[in-house]
Amino acid sequence: MNENVVVVFPSLYSLNKIDYLVSSISMILKTMKLGFSKIRKNGSVIIVEADDPVFASSAIASLFGIEKIAIAKEVENSFNSIVTTIVTVGANLLLRGERFFVKVDGTGTEYVPKDVELAATSALIEKTVNFQTKPGTESSYDKIIYTYITKSQAYVCVFIDKGAGGIPNKSQNQKVLCCIYDELSVIACLQTLKMGFDVKILVCYSNESELLNTVKMLNQILPKLLQTNVELHFCKLDMKSTGRSILLKTAIITAILVSFAKRIRIDRISLAISPLIFPAWFIEYNAMRVFQKGIIPWFPLSGIDNSIFDTANEIGLEKHVSKIVNLCKIKFKKDLPKDKINKISLISLRDIKTITITLGPKNIHDIIDSLKSNH
């Protein structure tokens, strides 16, 4: 029986999409060249027998569709075996004076999880008496020793971490075109991935400096596409005549997305327009424009409030949070010059470049160099 395994706990919304999650786990481990002997389902959890559980768990944790992930010792579903393993793991994890909490979930055969919690807590107190450790409570502890029980095995966690939530990559079986052009749009693309769509990416920029900054942000989410070779589309905007109007730029990008989606035969586009930031009339304008062209608009930022900043931090955009905050301070005027929207979008669509890169440590340089050689 394997002792050290990676245990993946699917999110609530992924329980009917376990096979997609297994596929995603296999794909990311192969992409990152991390060895594993087997990926198997055990009840409602997924067990990964990895050559290096630490690196494997770190890679898997970046996937969507996961509530939490752990490195655990796998033992048979036997009351004595589980209690003994909890005590051994706890004794190795606890430092002097720390408070611990034993938490057991799942289903026993001839006992209930609470029986294991009480027995293991008592034995652990006795085992660590010289370290002056004390039992804590569910709301107050220094370390938690978590165990999950299935019909045949139990998993005593040495390490446990929070997952990214959402549902597995491509589990919707639908393609969506996303546009990345600023901080908010990167988060919108990430949220679209989190919804289980197969995301295709168009990058819009106005100048070389903006291109570099946008590609740096894009690089944070490229690994989440779960592709070794990624096709990317780039569109340079002529924004000199638009001034600094956020609404005008966003409306132009919507027009470009609609036309380009039809060109590459994608029926859905993702719009980085939050109702908590933009006025209702503007959201409705964009939605109607998309529907009129026979495309379905998705608004992945609908309903996302302050958690938008947590998402930004998760993907390394801490330095860019202030720009999102500044967006929230703008008082928008109801003024959209439709002639400019049509003119600029049509001009921009004439020169869309498409490149394919192999993901690696030099993604940013590879993208910039490919665009130059494609010019």
The CATH number for 235's domain is 3.40.50.620
Indicate if 276 and 357 belong to the same structural domain.
Answer: yes
With cut-offs at 50, 70 and 90, classify the pLDDT of residue 1: very low
* pLDDT tens, position by position, 79-88: 999 999 999 9
Boundary (domain end) residue, out of 147, 165, 183: 165
| Tokens of residue 73, six digits | 């010792």
d(Cα 288, Cα 267) in Å, to the nearest integer? 15
> Using the 8-state DSSP alphabet, how is residue 275 labeled?
T
Indicate if 195 and 332 belong to the same structural domain.
Answer: yes
Indicate if 131 and 185 belong to the same structural domain.
Answer: no
Mean pLDDT of 124-152: 94
d(Cα 375, Cα 232) in Å, to the nearest integer? 15
d(Cα 45, Cα 24) in Å, to the nearest integer? 14
Indicate if 92 and 204 belong to the same structural domain.
Answer: no
13 residue type, one letter:
Y
Mean pLDDT of 288-299: 96
Indicate if 103 and 244 belong to the same structural domain.
Answer: no
Q: Give the up-direction half-sphere exposure of residue 190: CA atoms within 13 A in the CB hemisphere.
A: 28
d(Cα 144, Cα 101) in Å, to the nearest integer? 5
Q: Mention every residue, 6+ apart, whose C-beta is less than 8 A from residue 84.
A: none
* pLDDT tens, position by position, 254-274: 999 999 999 999 999 999 998
Boundary (domain end) residue, out of 125, 146, 165: 165
* pLDDT tens, position by position, 169-209: 999 999 999 999 988 899 899 999 999 999 999 999 998 99
**Start-to-end Cα distance in the chain:** 57
> Rg for the chain (alpha carbons), in Å?
25
Boundary (domain end) residue, out of 106, 139, 165: 165
Q: What is the pLDDT of residue 315?
A: 67
**DSSP output for 138-179:** TTB-SEEEEEEE-SSEEEEEEEEEEEEES--TTTT--EEEEE
299 phi-psi bin (left φ>0, alpha ψ -120 to 50, beta other): beta
Q: What is the greatest pairwise CA distance in the chain?
A: 79
> Using the 8-state DSSP alphabet, how is residue 52 labeled?
S
Question: Is the pLDDT at 303 greater than 80, yes or no?
Answer: no
Higher per-residue pLDDT: 321 or 66: 66
Higher per-residue pLDDT: 13 or 305: 13
Helices then strands (H, E): number in the chain? 12, 14
Question: Is the pLDDT at 242 greater than 60, yes or no?
Answer: no
Indicate if 132 and 103 belong to the same structural domain.
Answer: yes
Mean pLDDT of 340-360: 92
Domain count, the chain: 2
d(Cα 273, Cα 266) in Å, to the nearest integer? 20
In a domain, 153, yes or no: yes
Indicate if 228 and 366 belong to the same structural domain.
Answer: yes
Q: Mention every residue, 6+ apart, whose C-beta is less than 8 A from residue 113.
A: 104, 105, 106, 107, 149
Mean pLDDT of 121-149: 95
Q: Which residues, in sequence order, are bridge partners of residue 234?
A: 203, 353
Phi, psi angle pair for 175, to nearest 5° = -90, 145
* pLDDT tens, position by position, 91-123: 999 999 999 999 999 987 789 999 999 999 999
d(Cα 305, Cα 170) in Å, to the nearest integer? 25
| Tokens of residue 353, six digits | 């470049």
In a domain, 140, yes or no: yes
d(Cα 351, Cα 61) in Å, to the nearest integer? 38
Higher per-residue pLDDT: 220 or 8: 8
Indicate if 30 and 154 belong to the same structural domain.
Answer: yes
For residue 31, what are the domain limits? 4-165
Question: Is the pLDDT at 248 greater than 60, yes or no?
Answer: yes
Number of Cβ atoms within 10 Å of the Cβ of 273: 25
In a domain, 75, yes or no: yes
Indicate if 354 and 217 belong to the same structural domain.
Answer: yes
Stated pTM of the model: 0.88
Question: Is the pLDDT at 161 greater than 50, yes or no?
Answer: yes
Question: Is the pLDDT at 241 greater than 60, yes or no?
Answer: no
In a domain, 170, yes or no: no
Q: What is the pLDDT of residue 320?
A: 62
Indicate if 345 and 209 belong to the same structural domain.
Answer: yes
Question: Is the pLDDT at 304 greater than 70, yes or no?
Answer: no
Indicate if 233 and 312 belong to the same structural domain.
Answer: yes
Indicate if 161 and 305 belong to the same structural domain.
Answer: no
User: What is residue 137's three-state secondary structure?
Assistant: strand
With cut-offs at 50, 70 and 90, classify the pLDDT of residue 281: very high
**Average pLDDT value over all residues in the chain:** 90
